[in-house]
Amino acid sequence: MGFRFNLNADGIYTMNILRKKIDSMSSSYDGPIVEWSKIIPLKVRCFVWRVALRRVSVATKLVQRGNNVQSNLCTLCGVESETVDHLFVTCKVVEDTRDYILKWCGITSERFSNMEDYLDFGASWGNCPKKKLILISVFYCMIWYIWMTRNNKAFNKELEVGGAKLKGEALNPGFSVLLPPLGGINSLS
Ligand SMILES: [Zn+2]
């Protein structure tokens, strides 16, 4: 299929335009809107987009493809099947970490059943666009660090992968610059 590039008003072909183009070409895509703000690192935005499309090699997918993996169980909790929705949304380790971070942001914790619920919650939260973007950034960076932590466990055989490790990763200096000062996300004016 041909692919014609159109320039935006500044004569620059931006990732945002490319993403919208690909979304429009993918008629089967009915997933959540992925935020494309530059406040979120590009690698993180691209990864969340792949997660929303479920194009991530979680254990259940690898088993379906016939890859040589030992188990389809979740790398983090070792209890349930590792699907995209489980690994990034409903895993107990992830829920504990999300509760901890949302509490730190001053936001009442929520339970989500799948990736659509989770991303839509961020996309429709609150009335202030600035605060909402920060919350979305927090969610996206959590998704990124969950994947990093999962891969460290899967490939480097790291033993310490519980909630404490994930919280430590999610709140490291590179991530915390996205977060509001102590006092919570609602302290922003
Ligand atoms: Zn799990």
- In this predicted model, what pLDDT tens digit does every residue of 13-29 receive, in sequence order? 555 666 666 655 555 55
Distance 182 CA to ligand 1 centre (A): 29
pLDDT attached to residue 86: 96
Cα–Cα distances in Å, from 82 out to 7, 64, 90, 111, 139? 40, 12, 10, 18, 19
Distance 38 CA to ligand 1 centre (A): 30
Going from N- to C-terminal start, the domains of the chain cover 92-179
Distance 92 CA to ligand 1 centre (A): 6
Cα–Cα distances in Å, from 42 out to 24, 53, 60, 126? 20, 17, 27, 24
Secondary structure class of 187 (helix, strand, coil): helix
Residue of 173, 170, 175, 178 lying closest to 134 (CA atoms): 178
- In this predicted model, what pLDDT tens digit does every residue of 81-138 receive, in sequence order? 999 999 999 999 999 888 888 887 788 888 999 999 999 999 998 888 888 888 898 8
Stated as kind and residue range, the H or E segment containing 29 is none
Distance 157 CA to ligand 1 centre (A): 16
Q: Produce one character per residue of 142-167: b if its CB has 16 or more CB atoms within 10 Å, e if not.
A: bbbbbbebbebbeeeeeeebebebbb
pTM of the predicted model, to two decimals? 0.74
* Ligand 1 (single-atom ion) residues, CB below 5 Å: 74, 76-77, 91
Distance 82 CA to ligand 1 centre (A): 7
- Residue 81: beta bridge partners? 73
Distance 116 CA to ligand 1 centre (A): 18
Distance 160 CA to ligand 1 centre (A): 14
Distance 94 CA to ligand 1 centre (A): 7
Distance 162 CA to ligand 1 centre (A): 10
Distance 150 CA to ligand 1 centre (A): 10
